Amino acid sequence: MSPRRFRPPEVTLSEDVYVELCAVSDKERQFHWESARPYGVRVMDAIEAHSDKLQKAWTDKPKTGGLFVRLSPEVVPPRRQHVTPPVCIALSGIDATNAKLLDRYVVQWSAGTRSALVEQALRFDLGMV
Residue 110 inside a domain? The answer is: yes
Beta bridge partners of 69: 64
pTM of the model: 0.85
Residue 56 inside a domain? The answer is: yes
Residue 4 inside a domain? The answer is: no
Residue 2 inside a domain? The answer is: no
Taking only the tens place, the pLDDT of each residue in 43-99 is: 999 999 999 999 998 886 666 667 776 666 677 766 666 678 899 999 999 999 999
Residue 94 inside a domain? The answer is: yes
- 20: containing domain: 10-125
- Domain total for the chain? 1
Q: What is the dihedral of CA 1, 98, 84, 25, to 10 degrees?
A: -100
Residue 3 inside a domain? The answer is: no
pLDDT bracket for residue 122 (50, 70, 90): very high
